[in-house]
Structure 1
Amino acid sequence: MKRWYGWIALGLIFTLLLGCSNASNYIKETYPLVDVQGKGKENAKVYSAENQDVPLVATELAQEEAPKEQSKESKDKMFLVYKTKIINIQKDPANEKNSLIEIDSIEYAKDNYASDFLKTYLTASVIQAVLGELSDNSGSDYGGYSSQPSSTQSTKTTTTKADSNVPTTSDRAGSFNSKSKSNTSSATSELTRKNDGSKPSFKKPSTSEKSGTFTKKKK
């Protein structure tokens, strides 16, 4: 009988340990933190799982803490929905062998994810039960942490294009200056001729020849 009591006690302890297991704590203890978005209750913590694909990480976390819903298996992105958080697991765009694990608080998920986007991965009933009513416009096109660097990169590209136009503007200014100088010089020469009262040089020989002819006739 004592043995049976011992086995029962061990079983209860094991059950309690399983019930206390938490996916968030497991992630903190297992994977390195790479970034934190937001602050206070509205935050998202991002971890890196090296040399692990998305389905493997999702299965591992689901075993640590059973989710209310787990999205269909995908090599690119999967969701685990819990009462107090949403875990977004996605392929690392910088290294396809790694995965990014994003732990979103409920407040952060409400403010960033669009309802239509989440419905492509999760059932509407679970979304409403955990997040409540979401606006179709909330979160815009936010799909997770890996979707943010692209906006920063596009900003840098725009700045570079704007800077590349500066030399073109200076070249145009130079061409205008050269034209204005030539116009000024030609205008100055015309004013000089008018003040002297002289005629173009190619007409002077014909004038001298005619005056010579008149002189001979008088003699």
Structure 2
Amino acid sequence: MSAGIAIETWLTIGYAALLVAIAYGIDRFARHAAAKVEQHRTGGFVYHEDHDAWLCPQDQWLWPKSFDPDNRVMRYRGSPTVCNACPVKHTCTTSNDGREVNRAIDSWPASEAARFHRGIACAVSAIAVIWPLAMALAAGTVPETLLLLGCAVVVGVVSLPLWSHLRRTPAVPPGVVFQTLDDNIEERKRLAEAEIRRRSSYASDRREGR
């Protein structure tokens, strides 16, 4: 016992501090992993916020094509004419409709993946607050009670940044077509079927012209 404070009290404070560190560690790890995945998925494409467009390594632009309200992602697509004539198309895409890149319009704390991991982090931080409060109710002395209550308050204040961003960004992009993932797949199927019909018609015309 130190200065009238039981060892259990100090252990509780240390445990609460450890839980807060773990909560922030979960959030930081998830943020870092998401950034790595996004970097790998977009390759050498660079997003230009002032244009709301992606610039590919061949200096061609991909402009907004549609917005998926369910997954809250904006879809950008290059011109099929440009992409199909690109000398490095085989390393970029197999689609004849132009290369597509998706961008989540929500900032990290508001995106679906972040909300999941941020929720776990917030749950851990909540335990870090509740634990010293519970121990304060069972404390044997006034100094221990005040110390544990102060610990709960400090932990709660330190955890506020985690809780304050656990929300969805309400921004909705203007001037684009609302299109779900299923709609996007259906559109690609229609374009592919139209391309097959065009080629079949072209081949038929060539045979008749002989």
Question: Which has the greater radius of gyration?
Answer: 1
- Could you tell me the TM-score, scaled by structure 1's length? 0.31
Q: TM-score, normalised by structure 2?
A: 0.32
Which structure has greater strand proportion? 1
